[in-house]
């Protein structure tokens, strides 16, 4: 179970990288076009805001990948797990509707962490 959780965290972290590469105009696709709005288009944060938010997505991406490695090696990661899942959840809400799949993944990861007493108890 620890291996599966670690892989899910790493894959989820890699998926978060999209939130960085699109606002920084490194990649743009039909599914993830460059935009400066958040919360389903309700708020325009401009180019600078989009890039700043992209840095937060990058921090979450790197954190989740590193956390997956920590879980894989058996290091205690409870506080970081909950902190990064909360950050990821918040980013998915801000990135709605494009990040809706990430919202579901965060809930699945949270349930998995809570179901692992040895991991969640540290």
Q: What is the pLDDT along the chain (122 residues), one digit of tens a residue?
A: 788 889 999 999 999 999 999 999 998 788 888 999 999 999 999 999 999 999 999 999 999 999 999 988 988 778 888 999 999 999 999 998 888 999 999 999 888 888 876 664 44
Residue 114's pLDDT is what?
85
Sequence ranges of the domains in the chain: 2-120
pTM above 0.85, yes or no: yes
Residue 18's pLDDT is what?
93
Residue 21's pLDDT is what?
96
Beta bridge partners of residue 37, listed in sequence order: 44
Half-sphere exposure of residue 1: CA atoms within 13 angstroms, side-chain side: 11
């Amino acid at each position: 179970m620890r291996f599966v959780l670690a892989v899910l965290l790493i894959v989820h972290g890699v998926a978060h990288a999209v939130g960085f590469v699109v606002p920084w105009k490194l990649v743009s696709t039909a599914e993830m076009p460059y935009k400066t709005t958040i919360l389903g288009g309700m708020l325009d944060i401009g180019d600078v805001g989009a890039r700043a938010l992209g840095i937060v997505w990058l921090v979450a991406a790197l954190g989740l990948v590193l956390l997956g490695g920590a879980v894989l090696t058996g290091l205690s990661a409870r506080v970081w797990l909950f902190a990064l899942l909360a950050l990821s959840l918040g980013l998915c809400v801000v990135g709605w509707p494009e990040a809706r799949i990430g919202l579901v993944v965060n809930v699945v990861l949270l349930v998995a962490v809570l179901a692992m007493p040895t991991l969640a108890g540290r």
